[in-house]
Amino acid sequence: MKSTVRDFVASRNRWIKTAGQGIVMMCLVLGLVAFVGNNKSIVLNIDGQASTVQTFGGTVGEVLANSNVVVTENDQVTPSLAAAVEDGSAIQITRATAIDVVLNGADTVVHTTGSTVGDVVNELGVADSSAISADLETRLTTLSSELEISTPKSVTVTVDGSTATHTSTVKSVQDLFDEAEIVLGDEDRVSVPVTSSLVDGLGLKITRVDSDHRETVTESISFTTDEVHDDTLDVGEQRVTRAGVDGERTKIFTAVVIDGREENRELLSDKVTLEPVTELLAIGTREPKPEPEPETKPEPEPERVEVSAPADEPEPAGSSGPAPAGGAWQALAQCESGGNWSINTGNGYYGGLQFSAPSWLGAGGGKYAPLPHLASPAEQIATAEVLKQNGGWGHWPSCSAKLGLG
């Protein structure tokens, strides 16, 4: 009986030992299976450089951590760090590059995973018409200086009375003026400093200033008239012996002109640049000769008057005496004027023989007197003789016919 119990116990212990060893072996097998099952082969591609790593990590982040690969928030990791990985998965990492960029005059650092200038421009989202310091195809690794980008900006400029809108990618206000060919004077004022950066929507006002504007004004100086008594002219007669000429005065003004409006006008100089010439006017003072009293003679008997040669005519009397009696001229004067050698009725004919002023002057009577009635009978007859030589007695048609002269 005891032997049977011992055998049972021994058999049980052997079974327990064998079962324990089986369990241990099973655990080892299961562990090995789990190890083999969790170990993965992953392809890492960093900036184009590929390598294979063995890892037990279940996510991209765990794989990178187990592989001692550090990434920043600016690096591009595909798939994402939280994504699960499987054996044979590939992880793509593109390192971000820090690029110094001057955007519209402001310094900034752009972290990009792109490889060219065009990639940076696209990431920034600037307009295609922006001004860029390097070609879009330029690789970032070849940049030797900061990348300058200037976007198009719409700016209004008011100058010389008009307002215009300019769209430009230049950097500063002065650059815009140069581009638009707007020339500033030394004293002109601009609403902002010309060194200011150009920004979209900016309004600029240019005020033109000329603090030394000069204007020359010419004024006329009227001439004056001096009257000079002249005893060679009859009373009532006047004659200009020297023509008057206006003079000239030149004034120079200085003023401050702001946008075409004159301010603070002052007289700088006032000079007579041309002296006027005084007019000289001769005033007649000679009294006219008194008219002789008309002679009263009886009417001659009607008879035909024979014209005698001039030598038979009586010689002219003094300047104020009566005409010689008898003769054709005396008869003609009697018919024309009643024998009044100083008559002036205002009808345009003068003296005993009734000369018109043009006939008198044309025959040379002006050497005796301005008008016939102011000359002596003898001077009138002498002038009539000259007139008669050109036209005969026809100068006195009515009376010469009546007297039978011809």
Average confidence (pLDDT) over 58-64: 87
Decide if pLDDT at 309 tops 50.
no
Which residue range forms the structural domain that includes residue 172?
153-207
Domain-located, residue 199: yes
Query: What pLDDT score was predicted for residue 11?
Result: 64
- 125-134, 373-382, 388-397: least confidently modelled range: 125-134
**CA–CA gap between residue 400 and residue 406 (Å, rounded):** 7
Query: What pLDDT score was predicted for residue 219?
Result: 94
User: Residue 366 is encoded by which pair of tokens?
Assistant: 């002006």
Same domain, yes or no, for 86 and 101? no
Domain-located, residue 380: yes
Decide if pLDDT at 223 tops 90.
yes
Same domain, yes or no, for 119 and 142? yes
Decide if pLDDT at 317 tops 60.
no
Domain-located, residue 108: yes
**CA–CA gap between residue 45 and residue 94 (Å, rounded):** 8
Predicted confidence (pLDDT) per residue in 18-50, tens digit:
666 666 566 554 454 444 446 888 988 998 889
Nearest partner of 206 among 168, 167, 263, 166, judged by Cα: 166
Q: Is residue 126 a contact partner of residue 149, using CB atoms and an 8 Å limit?
A: yes
Domain-located, residue 5: no
Q: Is residue 405 a contact partner of residue 388, using CB atoms and an 8 Å limit?
A: no
Query: What pLDDT score was predicted for residue 4?
Result: 60
Predicted confidence (pLDDT) per residue in 171-187, tens digit:
899 999 999 999 999 98
Decide if pLDDT at 294 tops 80.
no
Query: What pLDDT score was predicted for residue 139?
Result: 87
Higher pLDDT, 50 or 16: 50
Same domain, yes or no, for 165 and 191? yes
C-alpha dihedral, 188 to 191 to 195 to 201, nearest 10°: -140
The CATH code of the domain that includes 48 is 3.10.20.30
Predicted confidence (pLDDT) per residue in 266-284, tens digit:
899 999 999 999 999 999 8
Predicted confidence (pLDDT) per residue in 335-366, tens digit:
999 999 999 988 889 999 999 999 999 899 99
The whole-model pTM stands at: 0.44
Nearest partner of 51 among 81, 86, 91, 87, judged by Cα: 91
Residue 208 binned pLDDT confidence (cut-offs 50, 70, 90) = very high
Domain-located, residue 30: no
Domain-located, residue 364: yes
Average confidence (pLDDT) over 89-93: 88
**CA–CA gap between residue 133 and residue 171 (Å, rounded):** 12
Whole-Å CA distances, 211 to 264, 266, 273? 9, 12, 27
* Number of other CB atoms surrounding residue 379 within 10 Å: 19
**Axis-axis angle for helices 328-337, 377-388 (nearest 10):** 100
Render 172-219 in DSSP notation, one character per residue.
BHHHHHHHTT-PPPTT-EESS-TTSBP-TT-EEEEE-EEEEEEEEEEE
Question: Of 191, 207, 223, which residue is a domain's last?
Answer: 207
Burial class (CB in 10 A: 0-12, 13-18, 19+), 229: exposed
Whole-Å CA distances, 46 to 64, 68, 91, 184, 200? 11, 13, 8, 57, 41
C-alpha dihedral, 340 to 345 to 346 to 350, nearest 10°: -10
User: Residue 97 is encoded by which pair of tokens?
Assistant: 């590059």
Query: What pLDDT score was predicted for residue 304?
Result: 39
Domain-located, residue 298: no
Query: What pLDDT score was predicted for residue 220?
Result: 94
13 SS3 class: helix
Query: What pLDDT score was predicted for residue 378?
Result: 93
